Amino acid sequence: MLLLDNSAWARLLSGAIPEERAEQVIAWIEERRLATCLPFLLEAGYSARSGRDLRAMTARLDQLPRVGVDAEVERLALEAQRELADIGHHRIPPSDLIVAACAHRGGSGVLHYDRDYDLIAEHTRLIFDSVWVAEAGSI
């Protein structure tokens, strides 16, 4: 299972991802191997162009499994932020920390196009697979 990050979702919707990889991601969606969580849903909703667009997107995304944000996820995200602050990387977006904490809690990975997830995986106690939707720097 992989949690979707908006950096991957936006590139998928824009057609920026190589065709073969986009087909793989679409297959994962159909197989329900991708999941969502609140920070992703809020970021995806922020990108909607209208209420109608938001409702259509939400209807699609509601079909995917969802990982909840609970007190343990909050604790994990705050702990990761402290760990990153200790090495000068505390400016990671809060939503990325929460998505990574959800992935850790759920024993899954994160599908993204964002170097922050590599930093989080490398420099915190959060354990998750950092999966690039396309090779870093390629799109």
Q: What is the pLDDT of residues 9-60, one digit of tens each?
A: 999 999 999 999 999 999 999 999 999 999 999 999 998 899 999 999 899 8
Decide yes or no: CATH 3.40.50.1010 for domain 2-132.
yes
Q: What is the largest CA-CA distance in the chain?
A: 44
Q: What is the predicted pLDDT for the residue at 120?
A: 98
Taking only the tens place, the pLDDT of each residue in 65-90 is 999 999 999 999 999 999 999 999 98
Q: At what angle do helices 94-106 and 116-123 cross, to 10 degrees?
A: 60
Band (137; pLDDT cuts 50, 70, 90): confident
Q: Where are the domains of the chain?
A: 2-132
Q: What is the pTM of this model?
A: 0.93
Extract the tokens encoding 71: 């007190």
